[in-house]
Amino acid sequence: MSRVSLPPGAPRSVPALLQRLVADDPGTPRLTWYAAEHASTGERIELSARVLGTWVAKTANLLEEEFDVGPGRTVGLDLPTHWRTLVLQLATWSTGAGVVLGEGLRTGATDVDVLVSATPEVLRRSASTGTDTVAVALAPLARAFGDDLPDGVLDYARTITGYGDHHSPLAQPLPTDPALVAGATTVAHADLLADALAAGAAWSVGVRLLTSAPPAAVVGSALAAWVRAGSVVLVPDLEALGQHVRDTERVTQVQPA
Residue 2 pLDDT exceeds 50:
no
Q: 116: domain range?
A: 14-255
Instruction: State the Cα–Cα distance between residues 187 and 140, nearest whole angstrom.
Output: 31
Q: Is residue 30 part of a domain?
A: yes
Q: Which pLDDT belongs to residue 1? A: 44
Q: Is residue 185 part of a domain?
A: yes
Residue 111 pLDDT exceeds 80:
yes
Instruction: State the Cα–Cα distance between residues 117 and 133, nearest whole angstrom.
Output: 8
Q: Is residue 79 part of a domain?
A: yes
In percent, how much of the chain has pLDDT > 90?
Answer: 86
Indicate left, alpha or beta for 186 from its phi (over 0: left) and psi (-120 to 50: alpha).
beta
Q: Which pLDDT belongs to residue 141? A: 79
**Number of separate domains in the chain:** 1
Instruction: State the Cα–Cα distance between residues 108 and 129, nearest whole angstrom.
Output: 9
Query: Confidence class of residue 4 from pLDDT cuts 50, 70 and 90?
Result: low
Q: Is residue 3 part of a domain?
A: no
Backbone angles phi, psi at 56, to 5 degrees: -65, -45
Q: Which pLDDT belongs to residue 5? A: 65
pLDDT digits (tens, 9 = 90+) for 163-220: 999 999 999 999 999 999 999 999 999 999 999 999 999 999 999 999 999 999 999 9
Mean pLDDT confidence for 31-56:
94
Average pLDDT score, the chain: 94
Q: Is residue 5 part of a domain?
A: no
pLDDT digits (tens, 9 = 90+) for 19-30: 999 999 999 999
Q: Is residue 198 part of a domain?
A: yes
Residue 6 pLDDT exceeds 90:
no
Q: Which pLDDT belongs to residue 257? A: 61
- The CATH code of the domain that includes 219 is 3.40.50.12780
Q: Is residue 242 part of a domain?
A: yes
Mean pLDDT confidence for 149-176:
96
* Cα-Cα-Cα-Cα dihedral sign, residues 135, 140, 144, 145: negative
Do 106 and 131 contact (CB within 8 A), yes or no? Answer: no
Question: 246 or 63, which is more confident?
Answer: 63
Q: Which pLDDT belongs to residue 10? A: 80
- The SS3 assignment for 190 reads helix
Residue 145 pLDDT exceeds 90:
yes
Q: Which pLDDT belongs to residue 246? A: 87
Q: Which pLDDT belongs to residue 54? A: 98
Q: Is residue 208 part of a domain?
A: yes
Residue 74 pLDDT exceeds 90:
yes
